[in-house]
Amino acid sequence: MKHNLGVVLRFEFFQQIHKKSFRITTGILLAAICFLVAAPVLFHSYFESPAESGNYEQAGNPDDHADYSPFPGGVVYEDSTYRDLLPFAGEHVYTNEEQLVQAVEDGTEPVGFVILDPTHVRTIFANYSLNSSSEVSGLLSAMQEIHTTQQLQKLGVPAQEYMAIQNDAVQNEEVILGKDTTSQYITGFVFIMLVYMVVLIYGQFAAVSVAREKDSKTMELLITTTRPDALILGKVFAVIAVVLLSLALYLGCAAIFFLLLKGLYPAALLAFLSANVSTSMLGVYLLYFTLALILYMFLFASLGSTVSKVEDVSSAVAPVTFLMIFGYALAFPAMSGTDNLFIRIASWIPFFSVLLMPIRFANAAASLPVILLSTVVNAAFTAWLAYISIRIYRWGALTYGNKRNFVGILKEVFAKK
């Protein structure tokens, strides 16, 4: 019998990419990526550094209050010290607190301020949310500045000298002999999220694809036409090829858009990206992403062959889903630099290793020889798992009836001569 790995792979691959759902999803994600990459240009001002504050010199002068941007909201001056220093327009100045409360309640003012004395203000909110504090911060810092300047004047200290002393901060010059592991957080986070989502989504897909062949009775025809190893290998590699093609499309699209728009990016964001995205780590992430895909796709596909109906797939693959969730949960402490005995041991267990080892490498908790050894161990384990999966697939291909537990299945698979 001819080994038809190429034929199966090609058929499964093109069946997937010709699906309308795949094309629509890919199109939507590509558009989303283009938008995300263009976002820093479209929302340029958001990424700019906030303007330097500090108007001590001017703040002491009652005529210089125009240097502050107008604050949103209305105000009542119970203490008149700041009456002409704060930038509230006349229509937003109320004579008493009741009027101000009324204006906030009916929505005329987003927020109300009652200036009680130079160091005390009462803020009135219609409703309070996470953003509400930001509505107050501008007024508070302005009042603080004015108060400090006025106190300095009373003490006869020139404001400029005070400013100079304040700016003369202690300088810390950091020398990093190894890696700046804090800069790896973002790429590590993206890696974990990507592996988690892709493995669960496409794993389910691989399992359903196998189960559907049993459900539709195509299996008997297939296994009498070609070898079971060609069928499962072709199916798994087709799924991996589809994932890698999608990833290449997304990354390629992002890279092209980024290169086109790079000149328009805010300098601060470029500096941030340069510090946080390590191209040297991308190879390791890609390698472990592929290893994770192969390992988990074999597991999912073989479990898909143990059920007779498509609707039983989710319960059959639940143990593998839990494995993945557990690995995902372990990865978060690892990302924040934790490298205790538990994480070190888990990083050698292949199911978790594919998630943890690149993170440990990025955090300098694992050396290059360790990552190379881990790659060999993972590759060997994946090859062994592929062999087991082929046996399970061959056994499961024509086994119909009640669901069996995984241990029972393994016993039967290896009991057969």
Partner 1 sequence: MILEIRQIRKSFGGREVLHGTSFQVTSGRAMGFLGRNGAGKSTTFRCLMQVFRQDSGEFLLDGRPFDPGKHRVGYMPEERGMYGKVTLKDQLMYFAQLKGASRKAAEQDAMHWLTYFGLEEFRNQNLETLSKGNQQKVQIAQAFLCDPDIIILDEPFSGLDPVNAQVFKTSIREMVSRGKLLIFSSHQMAYVEEMCDDITLIDKGTVLLTGSLEEIRTEEGRNRFFIECRPEAAERIADAAVKAGIFISRLDNQIFTENREDALKGLLGRSFSDILSCGVWRPSLQDIFIKEAGEDSHEA
Q: Which residues bind partner 1 (CB under 8 A)?
A: 1-2, 4, 7-8, 11, 15, 213, 216-227, 398, 417
Nearest approach, Cβ of 239 to partner 1 (angstroms)? Answer: 16
Nearest approach, Cβ of 229 to partner 1 (angstroms)? Answer: 13
Nearest approach, Cβ of 395 to partner 1 (angstroms)? Answer: 12
Which of 99, 56, 58 lies closest to 75 in space, CA to CA? Answer: 99
Beta strands, E only, 243-387: none
The phi, psi pair for 204, rounded to 5°, reads -60, -40
Nearest approach, Cβ of 238 to partner 1 (angstroms)? Answer: 13
Identify which of residues 1 and 341 has a Cβ nearer to partner 1 in the complex. 1
Identify which of residues 39 and 222 has a Cβ nearer to partner 1 in the complex. 222
217: alpha, beta or left? (left if phi > 0; alpha if psi -120 to 50): left
138: alpha, beta or left? (left if phi > 0; alpha if psi -120 to 50): alpha
Identify which of residues 223 and 241 has a Cβ nearer to partner 1 in the complex. 223
Nearest approach, Cβ of 294 to partner 1 (angstroms)? Answer: 23
Gap between the Cα atoms of 306 and 392, Å rounded = 8
Residues whose CB is less than 8 angstroms from the CB of residue 105 and which lie 6 or more positions away in sequence, other chains included: 126
Tokens of 78: 């119970």
Identify which of residues 115 and 230 has a Cβ nearer to partner 1 in the complex. 230
Q: Across the strands, what pairs with 117?
A: 120
Tokens of 154: 């009373």
Nearest approach, Cβ of 410 to partner 1 (angstroms)? Answer: 19
Nearest approach, Cβ of 2 to partner 1 (angstroms)? Answer: 5
Gap between the Cα atoms of 261 and 390, Å rounded = 48
Nearest approach, Cβ of 402 to partner 1 (angstroms)? Answer: 13
Identify which of residues 219 and 240 has a Cβ nearer to partner 1 in the complex. 219
114-to-72, 121, 145 alpha-carbon distances in Å: 13, 6, 18
Gap between the Cα atoms of 249 and 261, Å rounded = 18
The per-residue b/e assignment along 84-100, b for 16 or more CB within 10 angstroms, e otherwise, is ebbbbeeebebeeeeeb
Identify which of residues 14 and 332 has a Cβ nearer to partner 1 in the complex. 14
Identify which of residues 179 and 212 has a Cβ nearer to partner 1 in the complex. 212
Tokens 């690149």, residue? 358
Identify which of residues 219 and 343 has a Cβ nearer to partner 1 in the complex. 219
